[in-house]
Structure 1
Amino acid sequence: MIQLAAGGGESYEAPTIAEFWQPLVGDGAFALTRSMVVFAVVAIVISVVLLSITSKLKVVPGKAQFLVEGTYGLVRNGLARDIIGAEKFKPFLPLLFALFTVILVNNLMGVTPFITFPTFSRIGYAIVLTAIVYFTYHGVWIARLGVIGWLKSFVPPGLPGWIVPFMWVLEFMTYVITRPLTLALRLFGNMFAGHFMLLIFTFGGEYLLFHASGFLPVTGALAYVFTLVMYGFEVVVQFLQAYVFVLLTCVYIAGAVADEH
């Protein structure tokens, strides 16, 4: 309990961990949660929109087709082709486009009225996408070099023999552990932090504005103003996180298909 009202009995009770667990049906590991519903709705909406637009393509695109083509062009030309290479990027393009759209739309749910919940503020969803990327680029890498060649590729050629074991351990840790760990945590951390900040300013501002005394209601009004600014900033962060996730995926795939490996 945090006592904020100087002369009254009103007090502000901080949210507990239990309030971040929001099962809609059931409880425990098999509960139907809010994040599951949001992710399922987003998947259905993306599928319906893309199928609807691509089945009726026009020479002069409308707003929806222009938006989809612009997103596809960003992933295809601005990321996949430039990073992976013009000769090798096409097999990975469906995966990269799917990753970008799924991450971006789910992130934007964090600023969508009546939802205000970014799915990737739950780390499990970030881990699943990272696992897909992880097995993709390591699978391509192993398929091209074989298991022995894959293990050997962690050490650059020409190193002194005494340093090879140390370098192999460092490179193995980087490619097999650090990369997937940071890829998942980066997406989860930014979405969780942004969502948490919006909750703090929204509910804290509501308490200060309507329940506190003295000059504190003024700070509550300022908190709401700052919340609007945070919403705009959060949209930028949500787009950047989708972009960075796909960009790093392209970098990892480019390394897996590179001739020097």
Structure 2
Amino acid sequence: MIAPMADEVEFHPPSIGDFFPGALLFEGTPFEFTRIHLAQLIATTVLVLILVLATRNLKVVPGRGQQIIEFLFGFVREQIAIQVIGEKDGKRFVPILTSLFLGILAFNMMGFVPGINIAPTSVIGITIVLAVIAYVTFIYAGIKRHGVGRFMKNSLVPSGTPVVLSPLIAVIEFISTFVFRPVSLTLRLVMNMLVGHLLLVLLFAATHFFLLSFNALTALSPVTLGLSIVFILYKIFVAALQAYVFTILTAVYIQLAVAEEH
């Protein structure tokens, strides 16, 4: 159906090129500035401003802004850090877990900003950095608690492992703990945001194509527009969910690292 109308209205589906936007500033230099960097800058600036403005005049009876910030901080503290890691150790990691949660949430939400329309977390370079932060954090936590030798023993040879199976289990646990964990953190976040971006762009592109076709297909434009709106709401939920999943998995890895035996 698309081919006969190619001369009238051209359909532009999303492509992987969306994630490699052209330079806005300093093209061809090591300091090249693209739409992805702009999204990161805006997300970080807005997040910092919100936190500063909402907490600069704290009151016993909080206003709406203070209530939202207190809810977010309390959620990470109580439902992630303390609930997963435990009260004693969890409090130590509240700052890094809160930073990860709010930072990823802010980055994810940039996909809905007109003119930006892409989340920095849909680019693998950003999610690798976030995964490295989580990776270094749980390894640091384990080494600080147990020392290098005991941490490696706890990580590679679970308690009760038969001696004859220890070498095989150690290899499997090494791959699982030190390779699959950062890889899975990276891919889980980037793939969810990447696919969400492609589907949303596809729906809006289809709406534009159908609307300007001026034939029987035009009747489909309200359908795809409606689906676009529904998908935006779903994508907002996914953006928040992925920030939560990344943060709680980081907390789980920290808990496993500081545990005496597992």
Shorter chain as denominator, the TM-score bin is over 0.9
Q: Which stretch has the larger CA shift, 75-84 or 220-229?
A: 220-229
Quick one: distance in 2 between partners of 1:19 and 1:195?
9
**1:204 counterpart residue number:** 206
Residue 6 of structure 1 corresponds to 4
Structure 1 gap ranges (5+): none
Give runs of aligned pairs for residues 1-261 of structure 1, distance below 5 A.
Answer: 4=2, 6=4, 9-10=7-8, 11-22=10-21, 23-25=23-25, 26-27=27-28, 30-153=31-154, 154-210=156-212, 212=213, 214-260=215-261
Give 4+ residue runs of structure 1 displaced > 6 Å after superposition: none
Q: Is the 8 A contact 2:146 2:258 kept in 1?
A: no
Partners in 1 of 2:92 and 2:259 — Cα distance?
15
> Does the CA-based 8 Å contact 2:151-2:257 persist in structure 1?
no
Cα 1:197–1:7 change in 2 (3 A) is closer
Secondary structure of 2:4's aligned partner: coil
CA 1:97 to 1:251, structure 2 compared with 1: closer, same or farther past 3 Å? same
CA distance in 1, matches of 2:74, 2:105: 15
SS of the equivalent of 2:24 reads: strand
State the Cα deviation string for residues 13-35 of structure 1 (Å, max 9, x = none): 54554443212121476421111
Q: Cα–Cα, structure 1 residues 57 and 89, in superposed 2: closer, same or farther, change >3 Å?
A: same
Query: How many angstroms apart in 2 are the aligned matches of 1:44 and 1:111?
Result: 16
Counterparts in 2 of 1:86 and 1:240: CA distance versus 1, 3 Å = same
Which whole-Å CA distance do the structure 1 matches of 2:32 and 2:43 have between them? Answer: 19
Residue range with higher mean Cα deviation, 38-47 or 105-114:
105-114
Deviation at 1:87, TM superposition (A): 1.0
For residues 196 and 15 of structure 2, the distance between their equivalents in structure 1, rounded to whole angstroms, comes to 18
- Structure 2 distance, partners of 1:182, 1:20, is 20
Deviation at 1:233, TM superposition (A): 0.5
Q: What SS class does the counterpart of residue 89 from structure 1 fall into?
A: helix
Flag the 1:183–1:8 CA change in 2: closer, same or farther, 3 A: closer
Name the aligned partner's letter for residue 7 of structure 2: G
One-letter identity of the residue aligned with 2:51: L
- Alignment identity in percent? 36
In the alignment, the residues of structure 2 paired with residue 225 and residue 63 of structure 1 have an alpha-carbon distance, to the nearest angstrom, of 32
* Residues 61 and 96 (structure 1), Cα distance of their counterparts in 2 relative to 1, 3 Å cut: same
Cα 1:148/1:29, change in 2 over 3 Å: same
> RMSD over aligned Cα, in angstroms?
1.8
C-alpha distance in 2 between matches for 1:234 and 1:13: 22
Take 2:106 and 2:18, find their aligned partners in 1: how far apart are those partners? 24
Q: Deviations over 1:77-124 (max 9, x none)?
A: 111111000111111111111111111111111123343221101111
Structure 1 residue 202: deviation in Å? 0.6
Q: How far apart are residue 12 of structure 1 and its match?
A: 2.6
The alignment of Structure 1 onto Structure 2 pairs a total of residues equal to 258
CA deviation after TM superposition for structure 1 residue 238, in Å: 0.5
CA distance in 1, matches of 2:220, 2:85: 50
8 Å CA contact retained: 1:6, 1:214: no
TM-score by length of 2: 0.92
Post-superposition offset of 1:146: 2.4
Q: Which amino acid aligns with 2:20?
A: W
- What runs of 5+ residues in structure 2 fail to find an aligned partner? none
